[in-house]
Chains A and B, each alone.
Chain A
Amino acid sequence: MTMSGVSSIITGTGLGKTYQSGFFSHQKTFAVQDVDIEIKTGETYALVGESGSGKTTLGKILLKLISPTSGRIFYHNEDITDLQGPELIPIRRKMQIIPQHPEDAFNPRWRLSRSIMEPFLIHGQARENGGLKNVLLELLAETGLNPDYAERYPHQLSGGELQRAAIARALALKPDFILCDEPTSMLDVSVQAAIIQLLLSLQKRSTISLLFITHDLKLADHIADRVGVMYNGHIIEEGSGILKSPMHPYSQSIVRGHKHQRPDQSIPSHESCPFVLQCPNKTEKCQTIPSVTDCSGRKIRCHHPFKYD
């Protein structure tokens, strides 16, 4: 599915995030470094990479849940980087998150009806009791949950059912962008398939854009229009069909299952290629950081990408 000519819903340019810790903040972790990303309306974009590569930090930056150290964020071409507090509320309504651990995302002392309807109260959209109840029943039906579940507590649901409830809550305010942060990594294979199919069918019906964070390459390849591969805070390759024809040496190494050491995230990779120490194809040129270039329909940050004839 080509997305050319489709307007972008969310764009990040030059995004960076550095975490500081220790005495006098002397320890730095460069979680996201110089990332440009554009997610188009109705698109499913999968962000893949190993633990600690910066996927979740980047997703939360786009959602304005974390402030970037550098770079700008645009929502429907409007710069939202510096928006704060009440200015953000109308945008928050349109951008939602589905968490990795739904059991941690629900108040254990609240019935599901209260948790799912909370967004209406926060955003001042409380309707008359009858109206809200109908919306709740619609949301439960849309996500395949029995209406009786509204009166249950989170511990009375299985992991898959609770993830459906999290999706119902994310859909409550009719968002146009949802960050799915490894929503199925803790679920059984058949439940995973059901949740993914649910998300994809909802997306088709409502033209929602999905940013899908996962470390499951096969899943990313199956569901996404485009995949971005993250390594050491950078998107090093972006496009479609990466699992079948990886062009960046790092993408090739994860697709083929080669072992490599984790990068040292306390050192910024401003000067050399972030993968230079592990790369089998490195040359002297790799001591300079490659810029992102278009190569056979992909965006690649590499001096020597592999080209398929």
Chain B
Amino acid sequence: MKMNNIIEISDLTVSFKGEGYLLTAVDNLSLSVIHGETLAIIGESGSGKSVLGLAILRLLPDTAAISGSIIFQTQDILTLSEGMMEKIRGGKIAWIPQNPKLGFNPSMKIWKQVSEPIVLHTDSSWSEAKKQAIRLLRQYSIVPPEKWAEEYPVAYSGGMLQRAMLAMGTSTIPSVLIADEPTKGIDAINKKDVIEMFNTQKERGITQIIITHDLDFASEVADRIAVMYCGQIVELTSVERFFTTPLHPYSVGLVNSLPQRGLSPIPGTSPAMHEKQAGCRFKSRCSLCSRICSEEIPLFPVGYDNVRCIQYHNRNRAW
């Protein structure tokens, strides 16, 4: 494992067996996360982003078949005992779920839920943890924190719940924070708050993996962008180069779909995940598709970036 990497994923495959088919949600994926960076994993619904996040935390159901390795600070997460995993989950790697309304227990006061990871992962008592929870709520602009700490989740607005969820996720100062669609359903004004919060965490040195399909949000918080399509990473690049010179035709299509870039949709739809795929997964939607695209294409380096497309130099002719 390289010194500056905090997570190294190698040949990770996650599949689910259905009646008469095998659904491969993450397909032979390799990825390194650098210490202290904010990595955005983008892609459309069903591309395997959330499954990848859940695999890192080993939160997938027993029906998932997992192979490969996920090295976190020298330990392979996939081989750890459940007891060891419980120490990592919430303590060293925190998870912010997609829907904060479902992430909180509706019958438990907010202070108790924010304090819970502190009590579980440190030697603090409940009263000490409560004081810390109130400090965290204030830090995340939930004011007055003493009042809001005593409320139940139902009293919070969507944006406040998202902030409370971040307070809970970072209460043990984790090394890595994985957030799943943190801006989904949040209005433009509250989104500014969420951007500010993630940038504050970055300053605190927390490594962040943000799973999102909100490109504007990714542009504001991320250092690097990994583009996922049909369970594979098709491009890994810096946030600046993703928006100025994306390499993969799919990335070019995503950027062109933004209102400020003309609102041009990518033709067609993603192939069904349970269908057996061969060669480039994007070929059915790509105007550059040629015979060579039916062969398996690896993610290969181009300058500082990585791309999974033989014809990347013609990408701007794709649309």
Contact = CB atoms under 8 A, between A and B. Distances in A.
A190 B44 contact: yes
A254 B263 contact: no
A13 interface: no
A197 interface: yes
A221 interface: yes
A219 B266 CA distance: 17
Contact of B184 (A51, A186, A257): A186
B260 A222 contact: yes
Contacts of B64: none
Interface string A147-175: 00000000000111100000000000000
Interface residues of B, number: 30
Interface stretch (A85-93, A103-111, A210-218): A210-218
Interface in B243-272: 253-254, 256-260, 263-266, 269
Contact of A50 (B185, B187, B265): B187
Nearest to A218: B259
Contact of B254 (A190, A194, A219): A190
A33 B258 CA distance: 34
Interface in A162-214: 185-186, 188-194, 196-197
Nearest to A220: B259
B253 A190 contact: yes
Interface stretch (B87-95, B101-109, B189-197, B199-207): B189-197
Contacts of A188: 44-45, 213
B257 A185 contact: no
A259 interface: yes
B184 A197 contact: no
A51 B213 contact: no
Interface residues of A, number: 30
Is chain A's binding surface mostly helix, strand, loop or mixed?
Answer: helix
B215 interface: yes
Contacts of A185: 185
Contact of A51 (B187, B192, B259, B260): B187
Contacts of B259: 216, 218-219, 221-223
Contact of B257 (A159, A193, A215, A257): A193
B158 interface: yes
A161 B269 CA distance: 10
Interface string B19-51: 000000000000000000000000011100000
B215 to A, nearest CB: 6
A193 B188 contact: no
B45 A159 contact: yes
Nearest to A49: B187
A51 B190 contact: yes
A59 to B, nearest CB: 16
A163 to B, nearest CB: 12
A180 to B, nearest CB: 15
B63 interface: no
B254 A189 contact: yes
A186 B266 CA distance: 17
Interface in A118-166: 158-161
A194 B264 CA distance: 7
Nearest to B253: A190
A193 B187 contact: no
Contacts of B258: 189, 193, 218
A223 B213 CA distance: 21
Nearest to B256: A193
Given A51-B190, A259-B192, A193 B45 contact: no
Given A159-B45, A216-B259, A190 B265 contact: yes
Contacts of A160: 269
A50 B186 CA distance: 9
A192 B257 contact: yes
Contacts of A221: 259
Contact of A186 (B46, B185, B256): B185
Given A194-B265, A196-B263, A51 B157 contact: yes
Contacts of B45: 158-159, 188
B150 to A, nearest CB: 20
B145 to A, nearest CB: 16
A218 B260 CA distance: 7
Contacts of B253: 190
A217 B188 contact: yes
Contacts of B46: 158
6 contacts: A186-B184, A186-B185, A189-B213, A193-B263, A254-B188, A259-B193
Interface of B: 44-46, 157-159, 184-185, 187-190, 192-193, 213-216, 253-254, 256-260, 263-266, 269
Given A193-B264, A197-B263, 6 more contacts: A51-B157, A51-B190, A190-B253, A197-B265, A219-B259, A254-B188
Interface of A: 50-52, 158-161, 185-186, 188-194, 196-197, 215-219, 221-223, 254, 257, 259-260
Give the 7 A-B CB pairs with smallest separation, nearest first: A194-B265, A193-B265, A193-B257, A215-B187, A222-B259, A188-B44, A50-B189
